[in-house]
Copies of this chain bind each other. A is one copy, B any other.
Amino acid sequence: MSHISPTHPRRLADVSSFDLETDVAVVGFGGAGGCAAIEAKDAGADVTIFEVASASGGSTALSSAEIYMGGGGGTRVQKACGYDDSTEALFEYLKLCMGDVGDEEKIRCYAEGSPEHFEWIVGLGVPYKDTEYESKAIVAMTDDCLLYTGNEKAWPFRSVAEPCPRGHNLEIEGDNGGPLFMEIVTRNVVERGIRIEYDARVLRLIADEDGAIHGLVVRIDGVEQNVRARRGVILCTGGFAMNQSMWEHYSPEVARRAQPIGNPFDDGGGIRMGQGAGASTLHMNQSFVTIPFYPPASHTFGILVNSQGQRFINEDVYHARIASSNLKQLHAGKKVFLIIGEKHWKQPNMLNGEIVSAAETIEELAVDIGLPVDNLAHTFHHYNEHAAKGEDPLFHKQAEWMEPIEGTIAAVDISPGEHGLYVGFTLGGLETKPTGEVLTMDGDVIPGLYAAGRATCGMPRTAEGYASGMSVGDVTFFGRKAGRRAAAEKG
């Protein structure tokens, strides 16, 4: 028996007998897979999870597991902290964030379902304190819950949707939300008696002659087993940032300039299996990319300039929007510098930039770093003049981050691909409906096949509008949807 490709499905007609039968087969036990399994089980299905690693967790366990939630008048925490977030504000905000590549149907679904999702997560036993973390940070390092994790207060977002913090951080000190979150999800899975096969590598899907999916082939203890999934297979296999050649192939701009973040099994295997079964892939060029521009939040007082010595972004935006804007500068010169005054430059920081010059005047600095002197000087003096008044007529940075840059001025080189700690992961993947049903390029559902998490092109689709908590929000929310939809299928 030959196959054109490792991911071409096994023919149902070639399967003489099944080694294992289940209603719903979930592939991958990270945030998406765990939530999918719980929902499928709670809907009455017999569920089996196949996880290639020796334990649950996936990339969710490696994250902070902040979840981006709100709307409906506010989650319990938002209300306790004095915010009455509306569904419409959440919807409008997400829509603006995702811009041209956004999927309005998924965004609508996510916004409207968010209050219930919060309750469900809390119902699993996930602890959230009714307190706000008020510093500007990538991650809350205390056990406080609510924080601004995106561009809510920055231009142009604040003019479209009332700013509101929506990042929900678990009640645990330090950056330990991810392990705790997955511990709780895993406990819920185990308590429900869901069957889990660890060290189980899924090799291919099983399809009938019309392309409908009936199960999968998995290797456990070195033995290939045919698994019948009576109601469906749910691919929750993660993205592909850890597969360098695949990442570079589809999303080269980021992949060549950023370190991948994720777990080693984010190798795109599930995406390739789905595609081999006829699924469409969407926005495979899109990657999350970021640079830890803050903390310290004081860096926000600096300005970012390109090879022309021009500013190009309001520096108070979310760190991924900064990284994404930095990458856009590469088409006309290769440099991006943070220009910052001695008062605001702080160590330790995680920028991994190189201080290439420090000078008493911007003119000296410009000469030293090889930027057009008169243009950088104009940018600098124009900024300072307006900063003294708390105004940014160009990019509308918030007044609280505007102060003239004074004293010794440093130039920190964070040119993508040269300096700066750029990290990223993939946002493109299998095309799905909000229900998790996987689609062909014709927009038809592939019977028996579902997907969720970073194996799909989900709600968050671009670094430009990303906020912390959107990915774990997406994988848990749409993981649940997929679990419910698959369980509802007649076996």
- B382-A3 in contact (CB<8A): no
Query: Given A8-B210, A210-B2, A332-B313, A283–B285 Cβ distance below 8 Å?
Result: yes
Cβ contacts A440-464/B at 8 Å (1 or 0 each): 1110111100000000000000001
What residues on B are CB-neighbors of A313 within 8 Å? 332
What residues on B are CB-neighbors of A388 within 8 Å? none
CB distance from A310 to the nearest CB of B (A): 5
Q: Is A209 an interface residue (CB 8 A)?
A: yes
- A375-B393 in contact (CB<8A): yes
Query: Which of B5, B271, B393 touches A372 (beta carbons < 8 Å)?
Result: B393
Main secondary structure on A side of the interface with B: loop
Give the contacts of A382-416 with B (CB-CB under 8 A): 382, 393-395
What residues on B are CB-neighbors of A442 within 8 Å? 5-7, 272, 276
What residues on B are CB-neighbors of A446 within 8 Å? 4-5
- The size of the chain A interface, using a CB distance under 8 A, is 60
Report the separation of the CA atoms of residues A275 and B276 in the bound assembly, to the nearest whole angstrom: 9
CB distance from A413 to the nearest CB of B (A): 19
Query: Which of B210, B272, B378, B441 touches A441 (beta carbons < 8 Å)?
Result: B272
Report the separation of the CA atoms of residues A7 and B210 in the bound assembly, to the nearest whole angstrom: 11
- A281-B281 in contact (CB<8A): yes
Q: Is A253 an interface residue (CB 8 A)?
A: yes
Closest to A442 in B: B5
Report the separation of the CA atoms of residues A393 and B309 in the bound assembly, to the nearest whole angstrom: 11
Give the contacts of A357-391 with B (CB-CB under 8 A): 372, 374-375, 378, 382
Report the separation of the CA atoms of residues A114 and B311 in the bound assembly, to the nearest whole angstrom: 42
Q: Is A137 an interface residue (CB 8 A)?
A: no
Q: Is A72 an interface residue (CB 8 A)?
A: no
Query: Which of B314, B372, B445 touches A394 (beta carbons < 8 Å)?
Result: B372
What residues on B are CB-neighbors of A8 within 8 Å? 210-211, 278, 440
Report the separation of the CA atoms of residues A19 and B53 in the bound assembly, to the nearest whole angstrom: 52
Report the separation of the CA atoms of residues A347 and B464 in the bound assembly, to the nearest whole angstrom: 39
Q: Is A131 an interface residue (CB 8 A)?
A: no
What residues on B are CB-neighbors of A2 within 8 Å? 210
Report the separation of the CA atoms of residues A253 and B101 in the bound assembly, to the nearest whole angstrom: 8
CB distance from A29 to the nearest CB of B (A): 24
What residues on B are CB-neighbors of A284 within 8 Å? 284
Cβ contacts A415-444/B at 8 Å (1 or 0 each): 000000000000000000000000011101
Query: Given A252-B100, A275-B441, A441-B275, A4–B211 Cβ distance below 8 Å?
Result: yes
- A382-B375 in contact (CB<8A): yes
Q: Is A256 an interface residue (CB 8 A)?
A: yes
- A440-B4 in contact (CB<8A): yes
Q: Is A308 an interface residue (CB 8 A)?
A: yes
Query: Which of B4, B285, B382, B445 touches A285 (beta carbons < 8 Å)?
Result: B285
Give the contacts of A72-119 with B (CB-CB under 8 A): 100-101
Cβ contacts A276-290/B at 8 Å (1 or 0 each): 101011111110000
- A209-B11 in contact (CB<8A): yes
Q: Is A250 an interface residue (CB 8 A)?
A: yes
Report the separation of the CA atoms of residues A74 and B7 in the bound assembly, to the nearest whole angstrom: 45
Give the one of A7, A209, A446 with max B CB within 10 A. A209
- A278-B5 in contact (CB<8A): yes
A-B contact pairs, 6 of them (CB 8 A): A8-B210, A275-B280, A276-B440, A309-B394, A372-B393, A375-B393
Instruction: Using A4-B211, A325-B331 as known contacts, list a sample of 8 further A-B pairs with CB atoms less than 8 Å apart, ordered by residue number in A.
Output: A3-B211, A5-B442, A6-B444, A100-B253, A101-B252, A249-B282, A276-B441, A308-B395
